[in-house]
Structure 1
Amino acid sequence: MKKVAVLVDGGFYRKVAKYLWGDKTPEERVDELIRYCRLHLKDRDFYTKKGNKKIYQYNEMYRIFYYDCAPIDKTVYNPLTQKNFNFAKSPTFIWMNNFLNNLKQRRKVALRMGFFADEEMNYVFSAETVKKLCKKSITIDDIQESNLVLNMRQKGVDMKIGLDIASLAYKKLVDQIVLISGDSDFVPAAKLARIEGIDFIVDSLGMKINDNLTEHIDGLRTYYKVNINSDSDDEE
């Protein structure tokens, strides 16, 4: 039986999970996240046969590490409406607070929180809006609120993921690390873990990942086709 640590890039997971499985309450999303992480405990290399059915061995969960930023509680000026918007009163702020508070109470879950850089937080044109402006299919007079997106930059999250991978590897705390992310910035950490003898798996939730990351991991395994609301972990 192996010890498995599952590291979750929270911003990535929440975005893709909403696309795959729709909107959910904070409690439902937490239940879904933990259920999904536990799918990685099924050891597909070790099983016995009972008739035509394979009975798999299940590994031990060392811990689920969840990395994210607390919701924005700032007031930000919107240059189009020329008004301040208080994010602390938004439904997103309330949902995210409830989600994180619920997650904190779950067994075998550790939160690693980064932060948003206040000085870099501002409204910018969306990529699609920039294309339309350059093609002159719209003018500046056609700009609406939907053409603006809030530019926010996370800080500390990637660093915490890298440090935890290094710590788990050097201290030999686990046999396998599963990273749920689509980011190729973790290549150095993945290489280090493999050098230390850790089986390093990436789950990109079905999203395409950079070839550079694929080269430096021990496997790409995802369960995004599994009916996440079912007790079975068989793919649809």
Structure 2
Amino acid sequence: MRFAILIDAGFAKTKLGNRDNPASANDFISLVDKIKAHPFLVDKYLHRVYYYDAPPYSKSHNMPLNGGKHNFSQDPLTIHNKKLLTELSKANHFALRMGEVRFRGWELNRDSLISGVQSCEITADNLRPSLQQKGVDMRIGLDIASLTLKKQVDIIVLVTGDSDFVPPMKFARKEGLQLALVTFNHSVHSDLIEHADLSLDIDLEETEE
């Protein structure tokens, strides 16, 4: 039996890393190794790992309030994520599915608002970019449908906590595929659990840096 692993990077990054120590390519490769070693999959053949993300935003924009121009390509997280995608694109069995990130302007950082006062001074340092990722969820849904209709795999392992994927999950199961879910014990909508055949318990404590 063949299986594919579909990784919702936006979700997985919050489980594999944090702001001070963001997830690396090795973290994702180690995660895949752990999934492959699960008793449900250990005797089955890995078809491919589909990794869904978007290239980091790299343009420059003027900041309001005389804040000068911000070059997003120089942000440490942007540099880190570019390296992450480059390394994963070279990893065995990985296929990157890329959406896009759009700049929606600047918004007030909520931490800047002081409770109990009627007004406060706002500077450029109190603003943060509003970035919106587009097209990633659509690609996951399309790949679930494609893998199902082309009968390329027997099992889909979905790493996500997003209940938006319930419709393609239901479609795959109706067509005879098995759906395994990896949520890292994250609290998810009951529909997501209901429309999976099983949840795989993956221990992140032993994930290598």
Structures share a fold, TM > 0.5? yes
Opposite residue 148 of structure 1, the aligned amino acid is L
Q: 1:15 maps to which residue?
A: 14
- TM-score under structure 2 length normalisation: 0.87
Change (3 A) 1:80 1:181: farther
The 1-side partners of 2:207 and 2:158 are apart by 18
Equivalent of 1:189 in 168, 172, 177: 168
2:147 maps to: 168
Instruction: Provide the C-alpha distance between the structure 2 equivalents of 1:226 and 1:138, rounded to a whole number of angstroms.
Output: 45
Structure 1 position 145, deviation (Å): 5.8
State the 1:97 CA deviation.
1.2
What is the identity, as a one-letter code, of the residue corresponding to 2:188? I
Quickly say closer, same or farther: Cα 1:160–1:45, change in 2 above 3 A: closer
Residue 147 (structure 1) shift: 4.5
1:6–1:146 distance in 2 versus 1, CA, 3 Å: farther
What is the distance in 2 between the residues matched to 1:16 and 1:23?
11
Classify the secondary structure of the residue corresponding to 2:206.
coil
Q: Quote the sequence identity (%).
A: 31
Q: Does 1:30 align with 2:25?
A: yes
Number of the residue aligned with 1:213: 192
Structure 1 residue 113: Cα displacement: 0.4
Aligned CA distance change for structure 1 residues 107 and 151 (closer, same or farther; 3 Å): same
Quote the residue 2:106 is aligned against: 123
1:42–1:59: 8 Å Cα contact kept in structure 2?
Answer: no
**Alpha-carbon deviation of 1:96?**
1.3
Relative contact order (alpha carbons < 8 A, sep ≥ 6): 1 or 2 greater?
Answer: 2
Deviation at 1:81, TM superposition (A): 5.2
* 3-state DSSP of counterpart to 1:117: strand
Where do 5+ consecutive residues of structure 2 fail to align?
A: none
**What is the identity, as a one-letter code, of the residue corresponding to 1:185?**
D
Report the secondary structure of 2:88's partner residue.
Answer: helix
Runs of 5+ consecutive residues of structure 1 not aligned to the other structure: 47-56, 231-236
Determine the structure 2 residue equivalent to 1:53: none
Whichever residue aligns with residue 87 of structure 1, its letter is F
- Which has the greater radius of gyration? 1
Runs of 4+ in 1 over 3 A off after TM superposition: 126-129, 135-138, 143-149
- 1:102: how far off? 0.9
Distance 1:216 1:184 in 2: 10
Gap change, CA 1:114 and 1:220, over 3 Å in 2: same
1:77 and 2:62 matched: yes
- Which residue of the partner structure matches residue 132 of structure 2? 153
Preserved contact between residue 182 and residue 204 of structure 1 (Cα < 8 Å): yes
